């Protein structure tokens, strides 16, 4: 029973003011006191095969690490999900400084960055592209990043970023285990929402991890310095 933040009020929103028929637009502000604990909700289960990692590329908005989604080797299941959803890609949202960056907020607290792991309903649909546009098509796991200790699991990603500095750059990246980017605590919030980037379709079951992961200054600054999107 989390409130839906109106897209108009989202500080960074530059797109059309009103998404036609938008009744469950993401991101939202998670008001912890409004969340309802469901004791019978199972834990989220991720099984990721690091060998399904394909490449990293810059789509002009973020850098995406894409996975081979032709098999069920890398999936999320459990929690509120009725069947496994295949990992397609993960990407980050960050700001030009550490005062803002995350899309979701927790009791109005903004984090310096937010990781999104995008999965699609391979039981109900045949492709990711189809699932994006359909009901119950996607599951996105959101993980907040906060400044703290150096994150060794992230360093391999930070080191390769200079190679995808410009829009449409792509680099082979053939072994990466995204479960290393999940917090140790398995507590999560879940709500029905939408993609936060075009096509903004309301096809997403969001699973937001309650605890952030930590990264240190040098890792975040590198993203700020290296990553130029509009060239």
Interaction site with ligand TU0 (CB under 6 A): 64, 91, 116, 118, 132, 140, 195-197
Q: Which is nearer to ligand TU0, 19 or 140 (CB)?
A: 140
Q: Which is nearer to ligand TU0, 26 or 52 (CB)?
A: 26
Q: Which is nearer to Zn ion, 86 or 116 (CB)?
A: 116
CA angle 147, 148, 153 (to 5 degrees): 95
118 binds, among ligand TU0, Zn ion, none (CB under 5 to 8 A by kind): ligand TU0
CB of 119 to ligand TU0, least distance (A): 10
CB of 217 to ligand TU0, least distance (A): 25
Q: Which is nearer to ligand TU0, 5 or 116 (CB)?
A: 116
CB of 49 to Zn ion, least distance (A): 22
3-class secondary structure per residue, the chain: CCCCCCHHHCCCCCCCCCCCCCCCCCCCEECHHHCCCCCCCCCEEEECCHHHEEEEEECCCCEEEEECCCCCCCEEEECCCCCCEEEEEEEEEECCCCCCCCCCEECCECCCEEEEEEEECCCCCCCHHHHHCCCCCEEEEEEEEEECCCCHHHHHHHHHHHHHCCCCCEEECCCCCHHHHCCCCCCEEEEEECCCCCCCCCCEEEEEECCCEEECHHHHHHHHHHCCCCC
Q: Which is nearer to ligand TU0, 133 or 228 (CB)?
A: 133
CB of 132 to ligand TU0, least distance (A): 5
119 binds, among Zn ion, ligand TU0, none (CB under 5 to 8 A by kind): none
Furthest C-alpha separation in the chain:
49
Residues contributing to the site for Zn ion (CB under 5 A): 116
CB of 153 to ligand TU0, least distance (A): 20
132 binds, among ligand TU0, Zn ion, none (CB under 5 to 8 A by kind): ligand TU0
CB-nearest residue to Zn ion = 116
């Amino acid at each position: 029973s989390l409130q839906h933040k109106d897209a108009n009020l989202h500080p960074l929103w530059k797109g059309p003011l009103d998404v036609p028929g938008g009744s469950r637009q993401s991101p939202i502000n998670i008001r912890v006191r409004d969340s309802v604990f469901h004791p019978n909700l199972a834990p989220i289960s991720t099984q990721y095969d690091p060998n399904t990692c394909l490449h990293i590329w810059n789509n002009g908005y973020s850098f995406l690490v894409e996975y081979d989604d032709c098999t069920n080797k890398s999936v999320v299941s459990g929690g509120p999900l009725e069947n496994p959803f295949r990992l397609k890609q993960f990407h980050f949202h960050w700001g030009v400084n550490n005062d803002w960056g995350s899309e979701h907020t927790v009791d109005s607290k903004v984090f310096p960055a937010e990781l999104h792991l995008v999965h699609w309903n391979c039981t109900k649909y045949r492709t990711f592209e189809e699932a994006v546009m359909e009901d119950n098509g996607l599951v996105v796991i959101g993980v907040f990043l906060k400044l703290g200790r150096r994150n060794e699991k992230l360093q391999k990603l930070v080191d390769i970023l200079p190679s995808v500095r410009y829009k449409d750059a792509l680099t082979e990246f053939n072994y990466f285990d995204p479960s290393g980017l999940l917090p140790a605590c398995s507590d999560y919030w879940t709500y029905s929402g939408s993609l936060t980037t075009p096509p903004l379709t309301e096809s997403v079951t969001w699973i937001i991890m309650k605890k952030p992961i930590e990264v240190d200054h040098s890792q975040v600054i590198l993203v700020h310095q290296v990553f130029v999107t509009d060239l």
